[in-house]
Structure 1
Amino acid sequence: MNPGTAPAGRARRRPLPFRLWTRLRSWRRRRPFTGGLLAILSGAWICALPLAPVTVMIAQGIAGVPSVLMGVFLMALGMIVWAQPRQATIAGVLTVLIGLAALVMSNLGGFVVGSLLAFAGGGLMFAWRPTPRVRRRDRRRAARAADPVGAPAPRSAPAEGGGPAPRPGPRPGEPVDRRPP
């Protein structure tokens, strides 16, 4: 047997990067991924600014503690919504509230960028709703039921006057011929 050929009866496996990308895509589709990502980015932005040089900071001292705490909470909310998508509603509300509090308590919410990211991420989390997962087998059954292959086309009665019978309309999925007869 050649090392480059697959044994008979076994399907050829796809390369590892393709399989990993497919699994990541299906994982992302079952949760509010973008909202969680924006919440994590906003938390990192708000959390990193108190660690910046003093010339960049607007307020230093005790104001750095709430900034770090709010950033950590925002990152935690983003990860929670990835791990538990059913908590997306409450996590979205909390993300927006923490982003609003960051405007007042931590350097204008990371110079407004962190708060805007938190508002967008929280809104996406709050608006996310799970969609039922449809199996491939069920999709095939629904497609077969909608357009049975091999079903005879309906015949119409001959037109009065003995002329040819009118052509039936196109079946679902068939291209439509728009040319005049």
Structure 2
Amino acid sequence: MLLSRWRRWRRGRPFWGGLFAILAGAEICALPLAPLKVMLQQGIAGIPSVLMGIVMIVLGLTAWFSPAQRSLAGVLTTLIATAALVLSNLGGFLIGTLLGILGGGLMFAWQPHAAARHSPEERSPELQSPVPPQSPTPTGTTAHPDPQGAQP
């Protein structure tokens, strides 16, 4: 019961993209707080590192709890991870940048499952029409189904 609820929740959102973004944010945020022996150079990079890490963690959580905002969260995560390469100790020694780019890409590319479409044979006889409806298309254009509603 609990495992099936977890799977349904996880599959209904860009889980892996959000997880990679949270891990990237934690990596970028934690390095400036590490002991000086671990750090290459603290300098002024400490404040932007912590801020970028926190924002990436928030964007990962946004993808989990508001999947409708996944595109914006994915693009912002990728941009912040790329900026962290320059502003934050090589983006958490490249680990944070790579995880952030991967997470942002997964968030942006994730699509929700579409409802299953039934073939005309599977429909009930009441719903079947003898002639399929023709959609008017302007001359010179071709009709194509686009799930996101873009116009040709």
Q: Same fold (TM over 0.5)?
A: yes
Equivalent residue letter for 2:96: G
Spell out, residue by residue over 1:151-174, the C-alpha distance to the aligned partner (whole angstroms, 9 max, x if none). Answer: xxxxxxxxxxxxxxxxxxxxxxxx
Aligned to 1:168: none
Alpha-carbon distance, 1:55 to partner: 1.6
Equivalent residue letter for 1:21: L
Summarize the alignment of residues 34-45 of structure 1 with structure 2, pairs less than 5 Å apart.
Answer: 34-45=16-27
Tell me if 1:86 matches 2:72: no
Equivalent residue letter for 1:126: F
Counterpart-to-counterpart distance in 2, 1:22 and 1:131: 17
Counterpart-to-counterpart distance in 1, 2:37 and 2:102: 29
Aligned to 2:82: 100
Counterpart-to-counterpart distance in 2, 1:120 and 1:26: 23
- Larger RCO (alpha carbons 8 Å, 6+ apart): 2
Summarize the alignment of residues 8-157 of structure 1 with structure 2, pairs less than 5 Å apart.
Answer: 19-133=1-115, 145=122
> Any unmatched runs of 5+ in structure 1?
1-18, 147-181
Question: How many pairs does the alignment contain?
Answer: 122
Alpha-carbon distance, 1:133 to partner: 4.5
Counterpart-to-counterpart distance in 2, 1:38 and 1:60: 25
Spell out, residue by residue over 1:91-139, the C-alpha distance to the aligned partner (whole angstroms, 9 max, x if none). Answer: 10000000000000000000000000000000001111111245xxx9x
Q: TM-score, normalised by structure 2?
A: 0.75
Report runs of 4+ in structure 1 exceeding 4 Å deviation: none
Q: TM-score, normalised by structure 1?
A: 0.63
RMSD: 1.9
Structure number with greater Rg is 1
Counterpart-to-counterpart distance in 1, 2:89 and 2:16: 25
3-state secondary structure, aligned to 1:24: helix
Q: Percent identity?
A: 59
